[in-house]
Amino acid sequence: MKKILLLEDDANLNQGITLCLVKEGYEVFSCKTIREAEKMFGSEEINLVISDISLPDGNGLDFCKEIRQKSRVIIIMLTSYNQEYDIVSGYEHGADDYVTKPFSLMVLISKVNALIKRLPDGKSKVFSSDNIRLNISEMKVFIENELAQLSKTEIQMLAYFMENPKQILTQEQLLEKIWDNKGEYVDSNTVSVNISRLRQKIGKEKIKTVRGVGYIWVSEVQKL
């Protein structure tokens, strides 16, 4: 379970954000002062920080800068300001993203989910199946020990299949995993078209269509 540190002194907003994040499956450590947040950050393995800028005991930007000097944890800043200077200042202090008040909780949650997906999952990053070897960390695919020319999307799709061998993956799952939050235009043919292209490059027999349900990687997969 990913851990999120929330630093927001508005009690109602703090509670609302906390409840939404908990519903999403995150463990939330809620703080209302920088002093509390510093103590919590030092005692927990935090994956993402959400911090207001105007706080009762200091400036959230200074807290952001302090964290960034010792950690690469993801930081989202909450601010009542929307001037270009304030946005740029947030990035200069080490923030990864920002949300301007007032904001939709769904927008904030979407940003959190998108940024959390970038975190390493601790799983093996090299997979082998028959004559295919995939190195996710290097985004490279080898077929018969020769480097294959696959696009980034094709490699991401191949990785999803090899991480979940002999499991049916639905079109909805593939769309969410590969294309969600990319801002790309996708339609009902996106998955089938990309599956077809991937099959042409790695072998048509590797991915089986389960009519009306989805697709399945049929071979055994080893994690190296």
Domains along the sequence of the chain with CATH: 3-116 (3.40.50.2300), 126-223 (1.10.10.10)
Q: What is the pLDDT of residue 120?
A: 63
Asked if omega into 102 is within 30° of 0 (cis), the reply is yes
Q: What is the pLDDT of residue 223?
A: 85
Q: What is the pLDDT of residue 183?
A: 45
Token pair listed for 101: 């008040």
Report helix angle 84-92 to 60-68, nearest 10. 30
% the chain with pLDDT above 70: 92
Token pair listed for 19: 């409840």
51: left (phi over 0), alpha (psi -120 to 50) or beta: beta
Q: What is the pLDDT of residue 93?
A: 86
Q: What is the pLDDT of residue 52?
A: 93
DSSP characters over 24-65: TT-EEEEESSHHHHHHHHHHS--SEEEEESEETTEEHHHHHH
pTM: 0.56
Our CA angle for 176, 178, 179, nearest 5°, is 70
Q: What is the pLDDT of residues 169-183, one digit of tens each?
A: 998 899 888 876 554
Our CA angle for 185, 188, 191, nearest 5°, is 85
**Per-residue buried b or exposed e for 180-208, using 16+ beta carbons within 10 Å of the residue's own CB:** eeeeeeeeeebbeebbeebeeebeeebbe
Mark the ranges of the chain whose per-residue pLDDT is less than 50. Answer: 183
Token pair listed for 115: 């940024």
Q: What is the pLDDT of residue 137?
A: 77
